Amino acid sequence: MTGTADSSTTPAPKRPRHEPDAPVATDTATFCEAFHACHSMEAVVPNPARRAHGRDSVTTVGRVHGDGPFSVGLLPSLFPESLLRQARQELGTLAMVHKSNDLYEFYQSPDLGSAAEALSLPALIQLRDTIYSPEFASTMHDLTGIELHPRTVDLSAHRYPPGGYLLCHDDDIRRGKEGRRLAFIIYLVSEDWSAADGGALDLFDKDRHGQPVEAVTSILPQWNTFVFFEVGTTSFHQVAEVLGTRTRVSISGWFHGPIPTSDDSPSDHTLVPRPLVPTTYPLDQFITTEYLTPGGMARINQVFLDQSSIELQGFLLPAVYDTITAALCAAPWIDRTTGPANAMRYRRHLLAEGDEESEVDASLATGAVLLSHLQRLFASVMFAELLARFTNLDALAECTSEWRSFSPGDYTLLNDLCLEPEGLDVILSCPQPLVRSSEATPPPFEWDETWQGAMHYIADQETLLTLWPKSNTLSIVFRDTGTLRFVKYLNHRAQGTRTELSVTFYERP
């Protein structure tokens, strides 16, 4: 999955106020002369290093953050202070569009290749013309060894308000034999921006398939710093959530050029469907009686056939749900998050070995054993037969199932690696507070929608259905071909986890 380019940078030492801006330019040629006068390229990047350019060897005459999974070039104080301050003021006159989906939450300007001209914004025009001049592109080529074509202008501004973010992506968008080759950012954040404000550039390491695993390096934004890195199939990065009260402002874009061939092999990270479990379960020991009566099943069937989805509140017996809630608190969750990071981030429950052979009695089972029983129940032939009464889908033959938990910072994304075939999604919602109540019988945990974390079903870029976490609620959704789903990023304000038993049933071919 690819996304909108943006990144962040480490704090650079502030320049003494008596020093002049460097470099100062009135046109692109003068700019490049000033650039070379201020930065001795050969002293920092010898010619052999530039000739030996490789995927992980982007270098810069300013500073290079090279101890992460890939190198990021940093050029502090590259542009005149007065020019950038005027550019930031001019951005305030542009109407930015709110962009929100599975991958990001921010505001974006119109294309600065044309908008700046149309609105007569001189500082933005000068900035654009300088960056996309042949002289500047030649300088970037000298620094990186990457062949660039400056004729393609790909430039916009972004505002990340508090809570804004851009999740893991690689910027790798290709059109034929050309595409994005070098991403760059100009930061217009406040000069005292700090870690408390968030919005860092996170760099991800990768697995043997070239897929992102986890963020291993974080770099903070800094006023008037030009940041750049090579775009490729493994240049995975993200803009971390903005945590403070201030807005993160930047201008970003790409240089385009010839695309090298990639040797990275894709990997499939979807769960493997398994045949339904033949074990017989006493449904009335788990499920509220109302949903097991002929009349109750008929009412559910009528709603489902009309809407292709239904929510059944209070699905489990109260005593069973209370035991499940307590068990989830003490459950042995897998420490490492599920990935890859450009597709998903959450934790799975680690079921104890031998759970399959233990007593199938809800009144006797406790803790992790009951969690295992419930997962087996939901993946059983008997439960599929109950679902057939609810939905008229009587050919359900296999399923995937997992207990999973989304904490602040977790999500799933729409990604080609994890496309799901048509199926019947069955989700038992068991949201949990981050801080446990001291009450013997705490009230049901209520989800605050400002935390995000809903599951969205979409088709043709339109939202069809939104499912929020609700205690002891079973959601049943038929997802046909062309319908996709994702769990929206849980922001840092969330006071609970989206915890659920997630099962998807598939019919016989």
pLDDT tens, 285-314? 999 999 999 999 999 999 999 999 999 999
Evaluate whether the domain defined by 274-507 bears CATH number 3.30.1330.30: no
- Would you state the pLDDT for residue 509? 75
* 60-125+151-258 CATH pick, 3.40.1480.10, 2.60.120.620, 1.10.287.110, 2.60.40.10: 2.60.120.620
157: CB partners within 8 A, 6+ apart: 91, 94, 96, 108, 109, 112, 249, 250, 251, 252
Query: Is residue 14 over pLDDT 50?
Result: no
Query: Is residue 118 over pLDDT 80?
Result: no
- Would you state the pLDDT for residue 335? 64
101: CB partners within 8 A, 6+ apart: none
Look at 372 and 391; give whichever has higher pLDDT: 391
- Would you state the pLDDT for residue 35? 52
Query: Is residue 43 over pLDDT 80?
Result: no
Predicted confidence band at 444 (pLDDT cuts at 50, 70, 90)? confident
Query: Is residue 403 over pLDDT 60?
Result: yes
Look at 68 and 209; give whichever has higher pLDDT: 209
Spatial separation of the C-alpha atoms in residues 236 and 180, rounded to whole Å = 14
**What DSSP state is assigned to residue 363?**
T
CATH 2.60.120.620 in the chain: give the residue spans.
Answer: 60-125+151-258, 274-507
What mean pLDDT is predicted for residues 203-224?
Answer: 90
Predicted confidence band at 268 (pLDDT cuts at 50, 70, 90)? low
Percent of the chain with pLDDT over 70: 78
Predicted confidence band at 17 (pLDDT cuts at 50, 70, 90)? very low
Q: Residue written as tokens 């749900």?
A: 321
Count of alpha carbons within 13 Å of 393, Cβ hemisphere only?
27
Predicted confidence band at 492 (pLDDT cuts at 50, 70, 90)? very high
- Would you state the pLDDT for residue 359? 44
Q: Is 26 helix (H, G, I), strand (E, B) or coil?
A: coil
Q: Return contacts of 36-40, CB within 8 angstroms, 24+ apart.
A: 36/139, 39/75
Classify the phi-psi angles of 56: left when phi > 0, otherwise alpha if psi is within -120 to 50, otherwise beta: alpha
Query: Is residue 9 over pLDDT 80?
Result: no
Spatial separation of the C-alpha atoms in residues 32 and 44, rounded to whole Å = 17
